[in-house]
Amino acid sequence: MTIERTIREHLHNEAKNMTCPPAISKRIEQSYSQYLKQKRSEITLKKRLIAGIVATAILIPTAAFAAPTLIDIFTRTPMTAEQVKVDKLGKATLEKLYSAFPETRSFKIIDASYLGYPSDSSNTTIQQSIVLQENGETGKKITLHANGITGEIEDLTQENWEPKQKPLNSLTDQEIKAKVDYLIVKIYGSIKDYEVAIEQMENPDVKTWMLSYAKKGSEVPFYQVFVHGNTISLSRIGGSDPTPSNLKVEGLFSLNGKTDYTADSFLNDEKLFSLLQISPTVLKQELAQGKSVVEIAASKNVSKQQVIDVIARTQSENQYKADHDGVTISEPLMKKMMKAVEPKVLAVIEHKTETAW
């Protein structure tokens, strides 16, 4: 869940005419997804999507959620370097970075902002973005996106960390994997229980690799990384088991003929089945006919908001327990997390099978 992503930095030829806010653009590229607010189960970026936008360096996890919805819901507010350094989330994020890469203490904060709801009187930060760079316009650069609710670094992008004489795109697959392994370990810790799939993307203009790290026994990526040029874009998309252990209904949605595990994770929810008074099997049959969850709910006099609330609560509970060793979440924090994940839930329940996200 996550979402999120927010959303990455450089749009190339195909995206020059796009007016999508930088935050959204960044995150969509780096990998779904987002945003993210906040997190878990971002949709794995498909090759066909990446081929068109990988020219940028940003992931989204990992993710394709409804950009127009995010634009309407969130606003991004600039921050000064001084504000970042005194902000609780900003200070924590910088300390994590400095601990992982001590050399970055000398880097200058060249850009920063936070994502929030324009109508939220509590000023809840959904995500905070910080860009730091070594002295000089061609120096090492790193972009961080931190979850405003959990404090986790959701994704980061390293640029120009390799010497010009031997940039990333000149390395072998194994050398690239070693670079990515090192980055993940420094930021998130051990990956000995993970398996990685690496493949070169079908993009003739930019030599690009996608690395997906999943826990052994799971098909859903936990970390997703894109490498191109001299840039590494890493996203923690928080993959979980495709379906809850007690619910084995898979393929509620399909994309390009394959199971969409994000939808399975969101919709395999006993409380949702109870709300809709429907079985998982019947729901799958209804969705296969081209209906959306919202349309199915409407036919049962259940509002879209009721559906969102049920799914968002379950996702928030699961995420918080996973991140805090089973500790129960407080109701005030629950409401903030639910509000944060709403856009991703909305993307799922309005989706219709076999259509592009």
Backbone dihedral region for residue 345 (phi beyond 0: left; psi -120 to 50: alpha; all else: beta): alpha
Q: What torsion do the CA atoms of 222, 24, 335, 283 make, to the nearest 10 degrees?
A: -70
Q: Which residues of 27-40 are buried (b: 16+ CB within 10 A; e: fewer)?
A: bbbbbbbbbbbbbb
DSSP 303: -
pLDDT at 9: 39
Q: How far apart are CA 223 and CA 207, in angstroms?
A: 20
SS3 70: helix
Q: What is the pTM of this model?
A: 0.56
- pLDDT tens, residue by residue, 187-198: 999 999 899 999
Mean local confidence (pLDDT), 203-226: 83
Structure tokens at 115: 């994502």
Q: How far apart are the first and last CA of the chain?
A: 16
Is residue 273 within 8 Å of 265, Cβ to Cβ? no
- At which residue do the structure tokens 């900003």 appear? 90
- pLDDT tens, residue by residue, 132-186: 999 866 789 999 999 887 788 989 999 999 988 888 888 999 999 999 999 999 9
DSSP 109: E
Look at 210 and 26; give whichever has higher pLDDT.
Answer: 210
Residues with Cβ within 8 Å of 26's Cβ and at least 6 positions away in sequence, in order, are 5, 6, 7, 8, 9, 56, 58, 129, 143, 145
Alpha-carbon distances of 215 from 96, 223, 225, 324, rounded to whole Å: 23, 9, 15, 18
Residue 261 burial (CB count, 10 A):
25
pLDDT at 256: 59
SS3 210: strand
Residue 329 pLDDT grade (very low, low, confident, very high; cuts 50, 70, 90):
confident
- pLDDT tens, residue by residue, 31-48: 433 333 333 333 333 333
- pLDDT tens, residue by residue, 233-285: 999 877 544 444 445 577 787 665 667 777 888 888 889 998 999 988 888 88
- Smallest CA-to-CA distance from 78 within 35, 50, 111, 49 is with 111
